[in-house]
Amino acid sequence: MPVPPWLESLLSTAFFTVCRTHGDVGRGECNMYCLDCKGEAFCFYCRSFKHKDHQVIQIRRSSYHDVVRVAEIQKVLDISGVQTYVINSARVLFLNERPQPKSGKGVSHICEICGRSLLDPFRFCSLGCKLVGVRRNGNASFSLEAKNEVVMDRTRREGMPKEEEELREGSQQGIYPPTPPPPPSNARRRKGIPHRAPFGS
């Protein structure tokens, strides 16, 4: 299963519309998506009634573009290769490609699909671009099982068993003297006693 059945529907769903049932109530905008139903976006109140025990993710907005928190989406999807950002102290990624003028000179990282400049050495700017990459090249995946197999395989090839590593660390303890703890930080220490100006008569 390289692409989950709900992903295309998620990427084409219109979010932040007013809920037909709860539009007159606060929090009545449709910013939730059910991975089990694969239907339309719904609001906070609809979740309680129709999707109580379902897998639901919340979509957020950043500069008029839909984003999802990494903490939510990485539980159900391999997001490796997609650029993440920190917005309002939460790590997020964009759902779809965002238009951008052609990258200028000196840009070292760009999206393989749309050419958008990236901050870090990632392959894709959004989940939508990764979906195109998976379909076009087949050298990326959304499957968590495939990701876990790659990590396990890499660990077997590169690393040694944990017991062997601990033994090696223990054998070197007698060679070098222990490093002393760092000195206490003076960052919070006051420089002196504050003095008031004398009262004048």
Helices (H), the chain: 7-12, 44-50, 70-73, 127-137, 144-158, 162-171
- Per the listing, tokens 């606060």 go with 26
- Single pTM value for the model: 0.67
Residue 103 banded pLDDT, cuts 50, 70, 90: low
- pLDDT confidence band for 61 (50 / 70 / 90): very high
What is residue 188's DSSP assignment?
T
Q: What is the pLDDT of residue 59?
A: 95
- CB neighbours (10 Å) of residue 2? 13
Asked if residue 33 lies in contact with residue 10, where contact means CB atoms within 8 angstroms, the answer is yes
pLDDT at 66 over 60: yes
Residue-range domain boundaries for the chain: 5-137
In this structure, the number of other CB atoms found within 10 A of the CB of residue 19 comes to 20
How many helices and strands in the chain, by DSSP H and E?
Answer: 6, 7
pLDDT digits (tens, 9 = 90+) for 108-135: 888 989 989 998 899 999 999 999 999 8
Q: CB of 117 within 8 A of CB of 159?
A: no
- The answer on pLDDT for 64 being more than 80 is yes
Contact 126, 79 (CB under 8 A): no
Region 135-152 average pLDDT? 67
pLDDT value at position 168?
37
| Residues with Cβ within 8 Å of residue 34, at least 6 apart in sequence | 42, 51, 54, 55, 56
* Closest C-alpha among 21, 12, 24, 8 to residue 48: 21
In terms of C-beta density within 10 A (0-12 exposed, 13-18 middle, 19 or more buried), how is residue 145 classed? exposed
Residue-wise pLDDT for 8-48, tens only, equals 999 999 999 999 888 788 778 999 999 988 889 998 888 88
- pLDDT category, 190, cuts 50, 70, 90? low
Cα Rg of the chain (Å, integer) = 25
Q: What is the pLDDT of residue 171?
A: 37
